[in-house]
């Protein structure tokens, strides 16, 4: 545990500059938007303040890959591997650090959007009306559900990238090609697998969510359903163990 | 403490010889403490195992003794040191004579040469 | 029963186009300083990496302290590769603390003494160190630990003479732990040869000559440097 923590802290310190740069970019973007309220209008600016989320979706998937690849690019992989830790811990620390960073950046985006929302009167605009909901607990449940599926989806994407990279390292030539092919294959397999798993898992008792708002589409509920998150989680766990094993037993340094 | 080492010959023997020479000429006085194995190893940049072997050899000559936990000391037996000094001198002399014979010098000629060279 | 520190049996390492190691069998006992001598590309680095658990042999058996290389053996091994593999953004002290988290056997006091001996400032970022300083740093990290086995890949290659002298002195002087086994790969034999107990000459992935350095000197009347030239031509 102590070793995992040391690895995790190392990843966070190593990623600090990138993190701060991104944080600055998001902040700068929002500052830029405040100066554009007059020309673009408050509503559009408020909507645009959520734009970093779209970027962060990709960032969350590729960041752990970048951290892993960095060890080879910087030539630090042999040192890392000479430490008495197994492959799972090394990869896990990277995933967790990237995830911590990702959560931080998402929170920052939301926080700044929240500020925009709260500060509407300052710009002479009306606050946008909140959605009318019948039950707050149900809404919260629904949002948690969607959030959870999204987060697990990001993690699954991240682990696919990591594993593809490691598979590429197994060959001496055509490393990039093998990684690319592995990514395509793994994405295909996981999407087929999650469909199948989700179907099998439908027998599980669901956390039932009642439609919290009359103007919400029920399809959203379905996609966020418990079985899908669980299917993605199972796939994530499986691929994480495979990549740890590849790192531990197969990859050479 | 200096050691000139010729890597073509076993190093431990050269260290033994160097230490004997240093003891014989009083660089390490009778009853005094010799440098530690580590110190000699670091000074000569030689493997400590090699130095340890040299110290064992040195003890076998009776010129030094190791006291457990204290280090290695030069013997207090000044007679032994004197004897060793003489033995070393004899060895050098014998070696010298052998080389002279190889050049075809007789004892007479060597003696004459020694006297001539002394005058110079 | 005590195992030899390293035992290799017919170890082979094949790549698609080359053979890095071609049937290497070797036993290394505790407390020895072993010189792994060979030209570039003779398989020295591959051999050290296999012992360190960074590469897997294609064939053959590898045992370190009687175990297959893995997490357990890595706890007792200090592997110091030829190039700098430490994180450039860490300072010297941050690196020492980082290593300490994985190796409780690292002695911080000894590390401080070594830093002084090697003339390194703890607050400097590793990326800002010169090549010689980085080479000395490796020795600080390696020697501050009580590692039973130290693997040094080309510790002297391409660095300034004062740094070389410091490194060799540290390896035989007060900093070396009692009973520690050290394997040093090098193709520059002259400066280092007096610190070896045992030498292994490697050529194209095969051992061509192996033995006690002192015995070889007595038997052949040659220095290891001369033998290097003779058997590896």
What count of other Cβ atoms lies within 10 Å of the Cβ of residue A205?
6
| Span C113-139, average pLDDT | 92
Condensed to tens digits (0 to 9), the pLDDT of residues C58-78 reads 999 999 999 999 999 999 999
Which domain covers residue A182, as residue numbers? 132-253
The crossing angle, in degrees rounded to 10, of helices B11-24 and B78-102 is 120
Instruction: Tell me if there are at least 3 CB pairs under 8 Å linking chains A and B.
Output: no
Condensed to tens digits (0 to 9), the pLDDT of residues C181-207 reads 999 999 888 888 899 999 999 999 999
Instruction: Mark whether A171 and A191 lie in a shared domain.
Output: yes
Dist CA B96 CA B37 (whole Å)? 32
pLDDT for A204 beyond 70: no
Higher pLDDT, A127 or A111: A111
What count of other Cβ atoms lies within 10 Å of the Cβ of residue C182?
27
- Subunit contact A6:C56, Cβ cutoff 8 A: no
Instruction: Mark whether A21 and A102 lie in a shared domain.
Output: yes
SS3 state of residue C54: coil
What does the pLDDT read at residue A230?
86
Task: For chain A, give the mean pLDDT.
Answer: 86
- Tell me which fold the domain B11-77 belongs to: Arc Repressor Mutant, subunit A (1.10.10)
| Residue-level pLDDT, tens digit, chain B, 120 residues | 677 888 888 999 999 988 888 888 888 888 888 888 888 888 888 888 899 999 999 898 888 888 888 888 888 888 888 888 888 889 888 998 899 889 888 888 888 888 888 776
Dist CA A157 CA B65 (whole Å)? 72
| Span A158-170, average pLDDT | 94
What are the φ and ψ backbone dihedral angles of B74, each rounded to 5 degrees?
-70, 145
What does the pLDDT read at residue A212?
61
Give the distance from residue B50's alpha carbon to the nearest chain C alpha carbon, in angstroms: 7
Condensed to tens digits (0 to 9), the pLDDT of residues C20-70 reads 999 999 999 998 999 999 998 899 999 999 999 999 999 999 999 999 999
Instruction: Of C104, C122, C124, give the one whose Cα is nearest residue C114.
Output: C122
- Subunit contact B46:C195, Cβ cutoff 8 A: yes
What does the pLDDT read at residue A241?
95
Instruction: Mark whether A234 and A219 lie in a shared domain.
Output: yes
What does the pLDDT read at residue A128?
73
Dihedral sign for Cα atoms in the order A157, A160, A166, A167: negative
SS (H, E, C) chain A: CHHHHHHHHHHHHHHHHHHHHHHHHHHHHHHHHHHCHHHHCHHHHHHHCCHHHHHHHHHHHHHHHHHHHHHHHCCCHHHHHHCCCCHHHHHHHHHHHHHHHHHHHHHHHHHHHHHHHHCHHHHCCCCCCCCCCCCHHHHHHHHHHHHHHHHHHHHHHHHHHHHHHHHHHCCCCCHHHHHHHHHHHHHHHHHHHHHHHHHHHHHCCCCCCCCCCCCCCHHHHHHCCHHHHHHHHHHHHHHHHHHHHHHHHHCCC
Instruction: Mark whether A4 and A63 lie in a shared domain.
Output: yes
Give the mutation candidate from C32, C170, C217 for the B interface (greatest B CB count, under 10 A): C217
Instruction: Mark whether A3 and A124 lie in a shared domain.
Output: yes
Give the distance from residue C216's alpha carbon to the nearest chain B alpha carbon, in angstroms: 8
Condensed to tens digits (0 to 9), the pLDDT of residues A214-239 reads 666 555 555 556 778 888 999 999 99
The domains found in chain C, sorted by start residue, are 6-231 (3.40.50.300)
**Tally of domains within chain A:** 2
Higher pLDDT, C80 or B42: C80
ipTM of the complex: 0.91
What does the pLDDT read at residue A42?
82
pLDDT for C109 beyond 90: yes
Which of A129, A154, A189 lies at the terminal end of a domain, its last residue?
A129
- Subunit contact C81:A78, Cβ cutoff 8 A: yes
pLDDT for A211 beyond 70: no
What does the pLDDT read at residue B43?
82
Instruction: Mark whether A155 and A39 lie in a shared domain.
Output: no
Chain A interface includes C79 (CB < 8 A): yes
Instruction: Mark whether A108 and A53 lie in a shared domain.
Output: yes
pLDDT for C7 beyond 70: yes
pLDDT for A77 beyond 90: yes
Which of A99, A129, A159 lies at the terminal end of a domain, its last residue?
A129
- Subunit contact A13:C101, Cβ cutoff 8 A: no
pLDDT for C223 beyond 80: yes
| Span A47-57, average pLDDT | 91
Q: What chains are in contact with A, requiring at least 3 Cβ pairs below 8 Å?
A: C
What does the pLDDT read at residue A137?
78
Instruction: Mark whether A35 and A154 lie in a shared domain.
Output: no
Q: How far is CA A194 from CA A199, A229, A234, B114, in A?
A: 8, 9, 9, 102
Classify the phi-psi angles of A140: left when phi > 0, otherwise alpha if psi is within -120 to 50, otherwise beta. alpha
Structure tokens at A166: 């490691």
Which of A103, A129, A155 lies at the terminal end of a domain, its last residue?
A129
Instruction: Mark whether A233 and A152 lie in a shared domain.
Output: yes
Dist CA B43 CA A84 (whole Å)? 35
Instruction: Mark whether A161 and A91 lie in a shared domain.
Output: no
SS3 state of residue C87: coil
* Extents of the domains making up chain B: 11-77, 79-119
Which range (A200-209, B108-117, C96-105, C129-138) has the least confidence?
A200-209
Dist CA B55 CA B15 (whole Å)? 9
Burial of A110 (0-12, 13-18, 19+ CB in 10 A): middle
Instruction: Mark whether A105 and A11 lie in a shared domain.
Output: yes
């Amino acid at each position: 545990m102590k070793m995992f923590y040391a690895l995790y802290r190392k990843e966070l310190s190593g990623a600090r500059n990138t993190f701060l740069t991104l944080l600055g970019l998001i902040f700068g973007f929002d500052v830029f938007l405040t100066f554009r309220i007059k020309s673009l209008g408050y509503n559009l600016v408020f909507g645009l303040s959520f734009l970093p989320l779209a970027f962060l979706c990709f960032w969350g998937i590729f960041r752990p890959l970048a951290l892993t690849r960095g060890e080879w690019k910087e030539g630090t992989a042999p040192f890392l591997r000479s430490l008495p830790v197994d492959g799972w811990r090394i990869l896990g620390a990277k995933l967790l650090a990237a995830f911590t960073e990702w959560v931080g950046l998402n929170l920052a985006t939301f926080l700044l959007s929240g500020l925009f929302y709260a500060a509407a009167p300052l710009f002479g605009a009306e606050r946008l009306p909140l959605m009318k909901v019948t039950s707050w607990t149900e809404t919260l449940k629904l949002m948690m559900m969607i959030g959870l599926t999204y987060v697990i989806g990001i993690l699954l994407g991240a682990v696919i990238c990591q594993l593809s990279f490691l598979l590429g390292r197994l060959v001496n030539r055509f490393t990039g090609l093998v990684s690319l092919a592995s990514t395509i294959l793994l994405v295909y397999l996981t999407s087929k697998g999650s469909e199948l798993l989700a179907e099998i898992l439908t027998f599980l008792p669901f956390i039932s969510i009642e439609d919290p708002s009359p103007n919400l589409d029920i399809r959203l509920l379905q996609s966020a359903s418990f079985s899908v998150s669980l299917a993605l989680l199972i796939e994530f766990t499986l691929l994480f163990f495979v990549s740890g094993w590849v790192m531990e037993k197969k990859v050479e340094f | 403490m200096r050691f000139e080492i010729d890597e073509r010959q076993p190093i431990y023997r050269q260290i033994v010889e160097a230490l004997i020479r240093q003891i014989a000429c009083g660089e390490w006085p009778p009853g005094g403490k010799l440098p530690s194995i580590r110190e000699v190893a670091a000074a000569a940049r030689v493997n400590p195992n090699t130095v340890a072997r040299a110290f064992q050899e040195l003890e076998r000559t009776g010129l030094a003794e190791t006291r457990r936990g204290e280090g290695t000391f030069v013997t207090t037996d000044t007679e032994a040191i004197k004897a060793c000094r003489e033995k070393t001198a004899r060895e050098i002399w014998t070696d010298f004579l052998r080389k002279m014979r190889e050049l075809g010098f007789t004892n007479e000629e060597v003696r004459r040469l020694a006297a001539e060279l002394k005058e110079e | 029963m005590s195992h030899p520190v390293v035992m290799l049996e017919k170890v082979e390492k094949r790549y698609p186009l080359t053979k890095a190691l071609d049937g290497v069998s070797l036993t290394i006992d505790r407390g020895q300083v072993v010189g792994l001598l060979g030209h570039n590309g003779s398989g020295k680095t591959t051999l050290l990496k296999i012992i360190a658990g960074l590469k897997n042999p294609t064939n053959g058996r590898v045992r370190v302290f009687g175990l297959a290389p893995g997490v357990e053996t890595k706890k007792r091994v200090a592997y110091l590769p030829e190039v700098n593999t430490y994180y450039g953004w860490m300072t010297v002290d941050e690196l020492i603390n980082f290593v300490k988290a994985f190796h409780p056997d690292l002695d911080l006091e000894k590390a401080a003494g070594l830093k002084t001996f090697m003339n390194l400032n703890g607050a400097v970022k590793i990326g800002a160190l010169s090549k010689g300083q980085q080479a000395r740093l490796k020795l600080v990290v390696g020697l501050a630990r009580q590692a039973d086995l130290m693997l040094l890949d080309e510790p002297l290659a391409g660095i300034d003479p004062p740094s070389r002298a410091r490194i060799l002195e540290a390896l035989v002087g007060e900093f070396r732990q009692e009973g520690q086994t050290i394997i040093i790969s090098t193709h520059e034999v002259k400066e280092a040869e007096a610190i070896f107990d045992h030498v292994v000459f490697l050529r194209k992935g095969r051992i061509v000559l192996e033995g006690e350095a002192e015995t070889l000197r007595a038997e052949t009347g040659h220095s290891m440097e001369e033998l290097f030239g003779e058997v590896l031509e």
